[in-house]
Structure formats: C-alpha cells, structure tokens
Amino acid sequence: MVDRAYPLPEITVHATQEDAGIRLDTFLAKAIGTISRSRVKGMVLEGRLTRDGTTTIDASEPVRPGALYCLTPPAPAPATPQGEAIALAILFEDEHLLVLNKPAGMVVHPAPGNPDGTLVNALIAHCGESLTGIGGERRPGIVHRLDKDTSGVMVAAKTELAHTRLSAAFAARDLEREYQAICWGVPNPSSGAIHGDIGRDPRERKRMAVVTRNGKHALTNYRTLRSFGTAAALLACRLATGRTHQIRVHLAHIGHPLVGDPVYLRRRPAAAKTLSQPAQDLALDFPRQALHAQTLGFAHPITGVALRFSVPPPADFQTLADALLACT
C-alpha cells in the first residue's frame, strides 16, 4: 500500500508477505510507480530511506514483510534553462508526456549560440508544476531530437518513469517513425533499404558520414511517393535505427541529397537543370533541408495504450512540392 505523496516530502510504503525477498530499490520503484529504479537507488544511497524509523542505505537488501518504508525525495531543483512563453502546437498531453508538432527553425536544447528560444525553454514554461522532476531537476525529458530545421512530431516526457520507459522504447526501436523528404534526383530502385554505418566524417568532424570504421549500424527504409520528372522525388523514409542526421546522410550517400540541405548538399545538383526557372530558383534557394517527421507511433509508457500521431508537412515544404509537381 502506497501513500502517493510524490513530489511532496515523504512517500510511505508498507511491505506485505508477498513482497518478501524482493530487492529493495526494485520493490520501491514498482510500488511508487512514478520513479525509476536507478533514481530510487540514488535516493537510498543518499540516506533518504528509513525502515521502521531507521535509516537504511543498502538499496539491494531484500524487503522485509511488515516493514514500513519511508522515502523522502529531494524537491525537484529548478531547471537550469528558464521557461519562456513560446506557443506550441500540442497534439496530446497528459500527466506523463506531451506530443507536439515542432516547427522548422526551433532548436530542441539550449546550447552555445542558442541559449534560449528552444523547445526545452518552451516546455518548461508550458508544463510548469506538472514536471515532477527528472534526475532531480524540474525539466522535460527529451528522448529523441529533431534537427533545428526539421519539422514534425516529437514526444517529451514529464515524469522520470515515463522518460525511462520512452528512452527504452526508442533504444529498442519499439515504435513507428516515418518522415517525408524531398531529394534531388529519383532513387533507383523506387523503394529499398539503405545500409551503412554512420560516424563522424574523418575529413570534417562537424559532419556525419557513412564510414567503414568506428561507426554505428544504421538502416533507413525508403519508398518513392512521387517523382518530379527526373529532377527530384518525394520519399517516405522509415527509420530502423536512429543515428544523428541518418536520413540526410544515407540519402546523400546514395547520390540523392535532400533539397536545401546546408550540410550534405555540397554542389549544385545537375538534376536542377530539368526544372522551370521559377521551380529551380525555389528549390535551389530552399532555406532548410526538406525533411518532415510526419508520423510517430508508440505505446504509452505508463498505460500501454497504442498512440499514433501524424501531421502534414508545413507550408514551405508543401509549396516546394507543388512547384516541383507543376514542372512534371
């Protein structure tokens, strides 16, 4: 039986005969239901747990039936980034997580050069007290990222347990992720799988590349939704792995870089010559990589209910696609 006082000062748990012998931190994490085992272990080691009034710091000891365990979590510390009132396109929200449609141009995490105006700043302000603390800090749990200039569906955790379980789902690829991309040229075959380990480009460390040494396994499945003559194509890309810049790197590797990609489009594509001048100008001057995270599906980390969200590409992406279509 649990008195769910978190994040108030104390949580009390009465152990029963059925709990006998279970590892203490495992028992407490399961009984509380909102804190990960590793976080419980850390609090036990900090001396924040008592058993029948006596402090215990052994997180691995077996549970004693009939004992009263009292855990006193620290108050969540204010997040280092400050909250900012930035409008968000929320697709779903409950006490555990939030799903949103991130606009192109928004950085996810504060960093040198982008100290504010980020998604994290916006989420801290939007969620407020509903952020119960992740790693002891009142902040949202970012379990995956979209590049600054990639638009589309993202999920963020509001509790530590949701963050832990979502992170595990992403690590195990136990979810659905589909992107829309506009690339130069038309891939042949029209659908397929792109294999290639991804790591730092040995010649330019700020870029990623398909490498033969010290890379991580990466697999992108793609299919052509529409070809725009021989100039370009609209693709649906599904990630079987989740490496940095994976779609951008893999498509550039097979000779079909994304329209507008400032990093992996290294020269004026010959395919642009087949376009009308207005469409050519629009495509060559497109100010970002033409990539949109259209669909995200996953099991709710607490309830297990299947969730699936899909959003259409933003106006600039659609305008580009329409201009290319007009040339065919």
Catalytic residue among 147, 149, 174, 285: 147
> What are the residues whose beta carbons fall under 8 Å from the beta carbon of 179, sequence distance 6 or more?
152, 236, 237, 238, 239, 247, 291, 292, 293, 294
Give, as one character, the DSSP assignment of residue 130. Answer: G
134 phi and psi, to 5 degrees? -125, 120
CA-to-CA separations, 93 to 64, 124, 127, 133, 172, in angstroms, rounded: 38, 14, 10, 17, 24
Q: Would you call 316 a catalytic residue per the annotation?
A: no
Q: What angle do CA 226, 242, 316 make, to 5 degrees?
A: 40
Strands 232-239 and 198-201, by their bridges, are unpaired
> What are the residues whose beta carbons fall under 8 Å from the beta carbon of 82, sequence distance 6 or more?
116, 121, 124
What is the DSSP secondary-structure string of 170-195? HHTT-SEEEEEEEEES--SSSEEEEE
Q: What angle do CA 265, 271, 274 make, to 5 degrees?
A: 145
What is the DSSP secondary-structure string of 13-54? EE--GGGTTSBHHHHHHHHH-SS-HHHHHHHHHTT-EEETTE
- Taking the chain, what is the end-to-end CA distance rounded to the nearest angstrom? 67
Cβ neighbourhood burial of 1 (10 Å; 0-12, 13-18, 19+): exposed
Give, as one character, the DSSP assignment of residue 212. Answer: S
Residue 253 DSSP SS3: helix
Task: Tell me the sheet residues that pair with 99.
Answer: 92, 155
Catalytic residue numbers read: 147
